[in-house]
Amino acid sequence: MIKILTVSSANMDFVMDTPTVPEGGETIICHGSYKYVPGGKGANSAVAVARLGGKSVFCASVGRDANGDALLELYNNEKIDTRFIYRSNDCPTGLAAIMVEPSGQNRIIVYPGANAKITKEAIDAAVAERPDALFMQLETSVETVIYAANAASEAGIPIVIDAGPADPQFPLEKLPEIEIFSPNESETEIFTGVKPCDKASCEKAIEILSKRVKAKHYCIKLGDKGCYVDGVIVPPIKTKAVDTTAAGDTFTAALTLEYLKDGDIIRAAKFACAAASIVVSRAGASSSIPYRPEVEALISKQ
């Protein structure tokens, strides 16, 4: 079984259905629902790895509070290895406020909280478990991402980075050589100044990215247009969007898991597109992530 170590964020999500996004100073009355659901980009990806058939190891940090207790219970139920999750005494569990519009488009504000407390000791111990790959996003501190990447590189472990959320000040140049670097449309534009919308613009963006971070593969997530990787636009599987939360996290986790099987990045991208299409058809974050038989059944219908 392929083992993927995720070093990233764990949040509780406060999700609210809203008819539109308020302007500055505007108050909107929402008649839809609101709920608290487990989330965090790292946690979503760790859950995706487990549900899609991988051995999922999660290195993160949560508070010693009710939200932290709830998240750990979920991870254990998903059979995720939680030995490397730190419990912070002085920071609450991370919280994400998510507004979901009728189109399924979302707006997210993240309070990092305990996510800033991932320890070097926990990273070293998790890397020593010799995972088949290290998976990260940019939702933890710069120091955590750089340290974990270098630790994995020194151990000869492939590194995959889902480049969200994008900070234009993030020092991509300090990253060691990685296997897959995967931003979405807005993240690509933030890092390169190029909005990817077709093959030509994707190629231009990757040319700029390659001067900042060296990767074997660059995979740009294009939302409802699929993804671009290695000169190919892989089309999505069309579905009615309900909520796009966790779609990108699931996509890159699925991409990583499938790529590690045989190194076929195009086949892996097709599988990842199918997994993400299921996620957007459902409400919620980790609750929307499919199990492997669901993805395989969808692919078989195409």
Q: Which residues are catalytic?
A: 249
Buried b (16+ CB within 10 A) or exposed e, 2-21: bbbbbbbbbbbbbbebbeee
Q: Collapsing DSSP states into helix, strand and coil, what is residue 54? A: coil
- The tokens describing 119, both together, are 């320890």
Q: Which residues contact 121 (CB under 8 A, 6 or more apart)?
A: none
Cis status of the peptide bond prior to 183, with omega within 30 of 0: no
The answer to whether 111 and 96 are in contact (CB under 8 A) is yes
Q: What is the DSSP string of 69-130?
A: HHHHHHHHHTT-EEEEEEEESSSPPEEEEEEE-TTS-EEEEEE-GGGGG--HHHHHHHHTT-
* Helix or strand holding residue 302 (H, E): none
In sign, the C-alpha dihedral spanning 283, 289, 293, 296 is positive
In DSSP terms, which residues pair with 162 in a beta bridge? 182
In DSSP terms, which residues pair with 111 in a beta bridge? 95
